[in-house]
A and B are shown apart, each in its own frame.
Chain A
Amino acid sequence: MADTTTDQALSDTLAIAALLAQLLPAGVELYQKIQQNNQNAGLVPVETLLEDAIGLGTTIEQAADAEIAANEPKDGTAPQAPAQTS
């Protein structure tokens, strides 16, 4: 792959993150991480980058499990509102 294509791909990702940073406060931290990845492109080993990605994937899965366990009806039915007392 030509370097220009690689650079374009990295710039595209950064532009997407920049858009999100303008839309959401949470996007600012994301933009900074992606910017750092781009600035250090060529310095960080592939294995290190992928291990970071795998760690994030694990975090996402665990957080999703916690949210599902806390909010999914245990018997497959919608949660019932508490019975009203007169």
Chain B
Amino acid sequence: MKLFRILAVPLLALSLAGCARNAAAPPPTAAQATAIGVDDFAASARTAQQVEIGLFQQGLIDAPTHVAIQKGFKKCGQDIQALGTAINTGASSATISAKIQAITADLNVDITTGVLGVRDPASQQKLQALVSGLGATAAVFAKTYGGQ
């Protein structure tokens, strides 16, 4: 959280500047906001995965830790597919809520635990920032969906 506070001021300006919506776009519905949140989360997870693979290729993460983290990303990828499919096929609210919870749980258990095994401090810090971002993004779409 300290990191978030340090960068709060420049971020505020950056995020406000970036929020200007296309003038032709109507306000998003709650369903659209949830779908955007899921898509944003998926893109964030893919970025985090690519960063981790890059660190491994640079020799900054050992093979067992890399495999453990990638097993977490595998579950995360499966969770995203299951959630997207559930919403797209009109699954019940309870089913969708369960799949959102699964994403959060798998993120917390598998990926977060795996990142703790990274011995290089700078690499661990980068990955922790990415995983924190993923958790926060998941919380956003969980809140958006919960508000429907």
Contacts and interface: CB of A to CB of B under 8 A. Distances in A.
Interface of A: 1, 3, 5-7, 9-20, 22-24, 26-27, 29-31, 33-35, 37-44, 46-47, 49-54, 56-65, 67-68, 71-72, 78-79
B15 A54 contact: no
B58 interface: no
Please report whether the interface of chain B is mostly helix, strand, loop or mixed according to DSSP: helix
Interface in B1-16: 3-4, 7, 10-12, 14-16
Contact of B40 (A27, A34, A46): A34
Contacts of B81: 54, 57-58, 61
Given A43-B24, A59-B46, A13 B137 contact: yes
B105 interface: no
B144 A1 contact: yes
Contact of B36 (A20, A22, A37, A61): A37
Contact of A49 (B32, B71, B143): B32
A24 B126 contact: yes
Please report whether the interface of chain A is mostly helix, strand, loop or mixed according to DSSP: helix
Given A1-B147, A68-B67, A68-B74, A56 B32 contact: no
A32 B15 CA distance: 11
User: A27, A50, A65 — which one has the most chain B CB atoms within 10 A of its CB?
Assistant: A50
